[in-house]
Structure formats: C-alpha cells, structure tokens
Amino acid sequence: RSESAPETLTDGFHLLIDALKLNGVETIYNVPGIPITDLGRYAQAQGLRVLSFRHEQHAGYAAAAAGFLTKKPGICMTVSAPGFLNGLTALAHATTNCWPMILISGSSEREIVDLQRGDYEEMDQLAIARPHAKAAYRILHAEDIGLGVARAIRAALTGRPGGVYLDVPGALLGQVMDAAEGQKSLIEVVDPNPKSVPAPEAIDRAVDVLKSAKKPLIIIGKGAAYAQCDDTVKELVETLGFPYLPMSMAKGLLPDTHPQCASAARSLVLAESDCVFLIGARLNWLLQHGQGKSWGEKGTKKFVQIDIEPTEMDSNQKIAAPLIGDIESCSKALLKAMGSDWKKPDESWTGKVREKVEGNVAKMAPRLKNNNSPMDYQGSLGVLKDLIAENPDVVLVNEGANALDQARSIIDIFKPRKRLDVGTWGIMGIGMGSAVAAAVETGNQVLAVEGDSAFGFCGMEIETICRYDLPVCIVIMNNNGIYRGDGTNWSGGEDPATTVFVKGSRYDKMMEAFGGVGVHVDNPDALREAVKAAFASRKPTLINAVIAEDAGRESGNIGNLNPSSVVAQA
Ligand code: ADP
Ligand code: MG
C-alpha cells in the first residue's frame, strides 16, 4: 500500500487475494512474471504461502497433486501465453484425473487481443483453456472478482472434481474500487463439497447384485482415496469380505498387506470373478475397458459402480447396479442396507485368491533380496519396499516406465494418499511437482522413485526442492536411457532413436550444484544406507542409482500399446 492511497480503496490485486483467502486457499504454486509478479508478492504479504517454480508445468503438477491430497483446489499461477500454455498441460491432467485445481493466469489486454493487434504475449487464453478444463472463466471488473473466484471454486469441487481456468487480464489487477464495497462483493462458497446421496432403490438394487455374487471382486480407485472417507471405505470392504484390487493411487487406503488384498493375484481375480464392484475407479484403459483376455469369458460378469459422475456409468460395460453419489454417502447407505448378518463370500473363492496371493508373494520375495551390482529393479526396489514398510508415513512419488510398473507392484503402501504417480494419462514429468506438493501439503518425508527419462522432464525443479529445503529424497533409477540404455540405431549410426543418454550420467552432481545432498550408488546395500540417511536428515537428497542398462522392458508393462509395422516385419 502506498503512502498516498486512501484506506477506503482496494484494488484487483487485493480483492483477488482476499477472495482466495476467504475460501480457505493457503498456498499458491507460482511462476512469477508479467502481469502477475506483484500478485505473488502481495499474496505472500497477505499471509499466503507462495512457492515459485522454474517452469509452469511443474507448478501446475504440484497444484494438481495438492488438489488430490487435500480435497481443495490446488492453485497454480502463471504468466500470459507461453506460461499459460505450460500450465495448461497440468490443468488438463488435473481434469483428466478428476482432481480439483484452479489455474489463474495473467493475460494481455482484451482490447488488443480481440482485435489481434499484436500485444505482448497475445493469446485468447480463455478460448484455448475451455476444452481442456472442467470450466473456464474470465474476470473483467474488480467488482466481479468475488463472483469469479466463487464460480471457480465451486466448479473445481462440486460433482466430479476437475481443473478450472481463471483468466485475469493485467488491467483487472490495477482496477480500484471502494474497499467496503469490495469486501461486500466477495463470496465465501457454502458447502462446495455437497453430499450426493444415492436413491434408496439404487442401494437395494446394488445389495441384491452383490448378494447374488459367488466370486465377487472390489476394485478401489483413486476417487475413493480422494473422497477422504477412509474408515467408511475400509468398513465397507471388510464387511463385504470380497477380495479387492487397489488401483495405483488407491494403494494404502487399506494396507497392501491386508488379507483381502488381491494385487498379487490380479490375473486370477480379473479373469474368474463373476461380479465386480467399482468404488471410485473407471473402467478405462488402465482396466482394459473391462473386456478382453484378461477379463475372462465375455458376459460372465456383473458390474456395480459407485461414482459421483452419472455419465461414467455404462461408459465401457453395462453397469447392472449404478450408485450415483459420493463414496461416503453410498458406502454408508450400503452398509446400512446390508444389515448385521451379511454373508461373506464362500471360502472356496476367497481361499483360492489368498492362496494365489501368498504363492506369488513367496515366489517374488527372494528376488527382492538380491544384492546385484549394477542393480536390477527387484534388488533396488526391494530395498525401498523395506524402507517404506518401516516408514509408512512417507509419501511415495513414482514415475517412469519400468521404474513405475515395478515400483507399483513391489512397494507396499500402508496409509491412504501416500502414493502419487503418473495418473490417468500415464504421463512423464509429474515427479518433482508432485514431490513439492506432497512435502508442502503433508509436511511428511517424500520419496520420489524416478526413471532417468521421467526425471528429465522435470529435473530442474530440484533447485526448487533445494531452495525451499524440502524433505524430498529422489532416487533415479539410472539405466542410461529412455526405456533402456542399450538401444540401437536401425540405420547403423551412433544415435539410437530411442534415446540412449550420456552413459554414466551423474545426476547426483546436479543436486550438489544446488546445495542438496547427492549420492552415487551401484548396489542395494549402499542404496539402503543413502535413503536411510536422507530420511534421518530430511535434507533434499538425490541418489543416482545405477541400474543395469539392459534391465527393464520397452514401455514397461504397456508395450502392447505400441502399434507395430506390418510392412517392416514382412
Ligand atoms: P483410478 O485411475 O484409480 O481407477 P479414476 O480416476 O479412473 O481412478 O476414477 C476415479 C473416479 O472417482 C472418477 O470417475 C470420479 O468421478 C470418481 N470420484 C471422485 N471423487 C468422488 C467422490 N467423492 N465420490 C464418488 N466418486 C468420486
Ligand atoms: Mg531409463
């Protein structure tokens, strides 16, 4: 506030910050620049936590992850045009994952943009954002800031959560209005996460279907983790007594070591079950759309599904009993309708699943104990599995191809929302942004298990991690390349199209350059000691973990999604 400005005036900067604060926003994931540089400064001056990143995409991924972790919209703030486009990737990612996020972007002056007169960073951002977001709004007048923020918050949270774009032209921020009028124009959104209660007949229908199942299965998705009704979901799963599969970010909602967890018998339960109950999980590509070889004989399954989004039903398979509502309301109503004498499925089914789980876990166990150097995925991840079991509050961030697929199946998670990964798109580059958000939002230690290629999409943010001195330990599974480090150039040259990186790259030295701890390890024992030290010190740490060049598979577990050339193979 300048000396000469009368106390009776406010402006766009302050109204926007007041509106966010009134609605419980505490943190902004930001990259400063024209026209939002001062907005970040004022926000900090008004008590918000403003974290500035090196690139908007990672500020955006942090906001998206914050939305998932907190059930409140994560806020990302970017500059116009290029900064906006960089942030938009993350906004689309949040929308795709059904996470609440608001991308606030500065933009250029409407009068110039709309006549395409060529402004500094000219772009019609609102039009571009709209198809990538759940909703998109622009605020033109200071007196509408309260309305704009309220609409953004409600759109991000209510129903199926998603990403919202809020366009803030530079001129808006400087607009002045009467301070008392300004305060009156702000809106505190009432009940932005309203209950959505299922119809009683829908509950009865679902109970009938679940009751008639002989070989039932539950699939728990990240919608259930997001819903933050952990005890209710646990009670429902345990009362039903069905085997369950957690999707990757639902791991830990019940501990992966739970006797009903069927992760290690995935093929068996998908193929043989006769009834599948989806709780906050979509039958998308991650579940092969509920069809094909892995799902057993066609037409042998009945589906029951809880989802807050009505149009999710029948999007891939016929849903015999749709439960449209929020997971907590649906689960409570089901429990009530099931009564106190619910009959659990026959031991012939649950026992068979359990036996398969125990057999597969026992088969894997010795491989996780190998001390090979250079390391393979089993030996290295076996170490991390032990350390997470000893430190179940650590938030695991995970991306890569093999580094992702192997870590997801090897590392057990014990508590809800302790795993953040590539999500519905299976994208690379979420690692460092997610790690920052996990550390900031939970205060817990973070362990980021990164493929060396995945790390390349976000690596510069280790400076951000060091600057804010966050308790993040990054383990780079370094096999010298995208997928593997032993690719060849099919024309015989030196430079394979599937990139082989500089051999023996020392990512640990990058960390040292920013004042963090860098460690270079090539065997599981050394990896264990390095991660233990990182957890004990809570210092920003990067461990360059040398993995054999030929470890891993092209595209990890999803190599089947690569089209193959008929001509070349003929
Ligand atoms: P996963 O990838 O783990 O299977 P998805 O992202 O595919 O999970 O599915 C999550 C689903 O959860 C989405 O269809 C979303 O609409 C739904 N969802 C999110 N929050 C809630 C909630 N509070 N209650 C009910 N459904 C929810
Ligand atoms: Mg690699």
**What spacing in Å lies between the alpha carbon of 419 and ligand 2's midpoint?**
21
Over residues 430-471, the pLDDT tens digits come to 999 999 999 999 999 999 999 999 999 999 999 999 999 999
- 3-state helix, strand and coil shares in percent for the chain, rounded to the nearest 5: 45, 15, 35
Helix (H, G, I), strand (E, B) or coil at 152: helix
Cβ-in-10-Å burial (0-12, 13-18, 19+) of 343 comes to exposed
State the DSSP H helix or E strand holding residue 84, giving kind and residue range, or none if neither: helix 82-97
Ligand showing the shortest atom-to-Cα distance for residue 309: 1
The C-alpha atoms of residue 498 and residue 503 are separated, in whole angstroms, by: 14
| DSSP-assigned letters across all residues of 163-206 | EEEEEEEHHHHH-EEEHHHHHHH--PPS-SS---PPPHHHHHHH
State the DSSP H helix or E strand holding residue 509, giving kind and residue range, or none if neither: helix 507-513
Give the residue, out of 97, 288, 308, 427, with the most ligand 1 atoms within 8 A of its beta carbon, to mutate for a pocket test.
308
**What spacing in Å lies between the alpha carbon of 344 and ligand 1's midpoint?**
26
**What spacing in Å lies between the alpha carbon of 97 and ligand 1's midpoint?**
8
Q: What is the pLDDT of residue 459?
A: 98
The C-alpha atoms of residue 329 and residue 249 are separated, in whole angstroms, by: 21
**What spacing in Å lies between the alpha carbon of 307 and ligand 1's midpoint?**
6
Does the beta carbon of 549 sit less than 6 angstroms from any atom of ligand 1? Answer: no
Q: Whose CA is nearest to atom 20 of ligand 1?
A: 223
The neighbouring-strand residues paired with 547 are: 375
Does the beta carbon of 93 sit less than 6 angstroms from any atom of ligand 1? Answer: no
- Report yes or no: 263 and 245 within 8 Å, Cβ to Cβ: yes
Does the beta carbon of 286 sit less than 6 angstroms from any atom of ligand 1? Answer: yes
Closest of 411, 349, 113 to residue 217, by C-alpha: 349
Ligand showing the shortest atom-to-Cα distance for residue 481: 2
The C-alpha atoms of residue 308 and residue 279 are separated, in whole angstroms, by: 10
**What spacing in Å lies between the alpha carbon of 525 and ligand 1's midpoint?**
39
Ligand showing the shortest atom-to-Cα distance for residue 400: 2
Cβ-in-10-Å burial (0-12, 13-18, 19+) of 299 comes to exposed
CA-CA-CA-CA dihedral for 230, 236, 242, 245, to nearest 10: -20
Provide the residue type at 328 as one letter: E
First to last CA, the chain: 74
Does the beta carbon of 247 sit less than 6 angstroms from any atom of ligand 1? Answer: yes
- Report yes or no: 441 and 70 within 8 Å, Cβ to Cβ: yes
Q: What's the whole-model pTM score?
A: 0.97
Closest of 41, 49, 103, 106 to residue 76, by C-alpha: 103
Q: Whose CA is nearest to atom 22 of ligand 1?
A: 326
Atom of ligand 1 nearest to the CA of 250: 3
Q: Residues with Cβ within 5 Å of ion ligand 2?
A: 451-453, 479
Closest of 127, 172, 135 to residue 35, by C-alpha: 172
Atom of ligand 1 nearest to the CA of 219: 4
Atom of ligand 1 nearest to the CA of 193: 23
Separation in Å, CA 325 to CA 6, 98, 198, 413: 50, 15, 5, 27
Q: Whose CA is nearest to atom 18 of ligand 1?
A: 223
**What spacing in Å lies between the alpha carbon of 477 and ligand 1's midpoint?**
30
**What spacing in Å lies between the alpha carbon of 527 and ligand 2's midpoint?**
17
Show Cβ contacts of residue 138 under 8 Å, excluding neighbours closer than 6 positions. Answer: 107, 126, 148, 166, 167, 168, 169
With both helix axes pointing from N to C terminus, report the angle between 82-97 and 56-70 in degrees, rounded to the nearest 10.
30
**What spacing in Å lies between the alpha carbon of 417 and ligand 1's midpoint?**
14
Rounded to 5°, the CA angle 226-228-229 comes to: 130
**What spacing in Å lies between the alpha carbon of 220 and ligand 1's midpoint?**
9
Does the beta carbon of 281 sit less than 6 angstroms from any atom of ligand 1? Answer: yes
**What spacing in Å lies between the alpha carbon of 371 and ligand 2's midpoint?**
20
Q: Give 246-249's long-range contacts (Cβ < 8 A, gap of 24+).
A: 246/220, 247/219, 247/220, 247/221, 247/222, 247/281, 247/286, 248/222, 248/408, 248/419, 248/421, 249/68, 249/221, 249/222, 249/225, 249/417, 249/419, 249/420, 249/421, 249/423
The C-alpha atoms of residue 453 and residue 477 are separated, in whole angstroms, by: 9
Does the beta carbon of 417 sit less than 6 angstroms from any atom of ligand 1? Answer: no
Helix (H, G, I), strand (E, B) or coil at 565: coil
Give the residue, out of 71, 95, 98, 404, with the most ligand 1 atoms within 8 A of its beta carbon, to mutate for a pocket test.
98
Give the residue, out of 193, 270, 289, 307, with the most ligand 1 atoms within 8 A of its beta carbon, to mutate for a pocket test.
307
**What spacing in Å lies between the alpha carbon of 312 and ligand 1's midpoint?**
9
Cβ-in-10-Å burial (0-12, 13-18, 19+) of 231 comes to exposed
Does the beta carbon of 283 sit less than 6 angstroms from any atom of ligand 1? Answer: no
Two tokens at 230? 């952990």
Does the beta carbon of 284 sit less than 6 angstroms from any atom of ligand 1? Answer: yes
Does the beta carbon of 250 sit less than 6 angstroms from any atom of ligand 1? Answer: yes
Ligand showing the shortest atom-to-Cα distance for residue 556: 2
Does the beta carbon of 337 sit less than 6 angstroms from any atom of ligand 1? Answer: no
**What spacing in Å lies between the alpha carbon of 267 and ligand 2's midpoint?**
27
Provide the residue type at 95 as one letter: T
The C-alpha atoms of residue 544 and residue 103 are separated, in whole angstroms, by: 34
Describe the strand order of the beta sheet including 101-107 as a list of residue ranges. 49-52, 27-30, 74-78, 101-107, 163-169, 135-138
The C-alpha atoms of residue 403 and residue 355 are separated, in whole angstroms, by: 28
Rounded to 5°, the CA angle 398-404-405 comes to: 145
**Burial state string for 25-61 with b = 16 or more CB within 10 A and e = fewer than 16:** bebbbbbbbebbeebbebbbeeebebbbbbbbbbbbb
Helix extents (H) in 365-419 = 377-390, 402-410
The C-alpha atoms of residue 366 and residue 361 are separated, in whole angstroms, by: 10
Does the beta carbon of 221 sit less than 6 angstroms from any atom of ligand 1? Answer: yes
Q: What is the pLDDT of residue 486?
A: 84
Q: What is the pLDDT of residue 2?
A: 64
With both helix axes pointing from N to C terminus, report the angle between 327-338 and 200-212 in degrees, rounded to the nearest 10.
60
Task: Calculate Rg over the CA atoms of the chain.
Answer: 25
| DSSP-assigned letters across all residues of 223-275 | HHHHTT-HHHHHHHHHHHT--EEE-GGGTTSS-TT-TTB-GGGHHHHHHH-SE
Separation in Å, CA 429 to CA 86, 258, 399, 421, 458: 12, 31, 8, 10, 5
Does the beta carbon of 420 sit less than 6 angstroms from any atom of ligand 1? Answer: no
As for the ipTM of the complex, it is 0.95
Atom of ligand 1 nearest to the CA of 280: 12
Atom of ligand 1 nearest to the CA of 424: 2
The C-alpha atoms of residue 439 and residue 551 are separated, in whole angstroms, by: 31
Show Cβ contacts of residue 6 under 8 Å, excluding neighbours closer than 6 positions. Answer: none
Which residues of the chain are under the pLDDT cut of 70? 1-4, 569-570
Tally Cβ neighbours within 10 Å of residue 490: 10
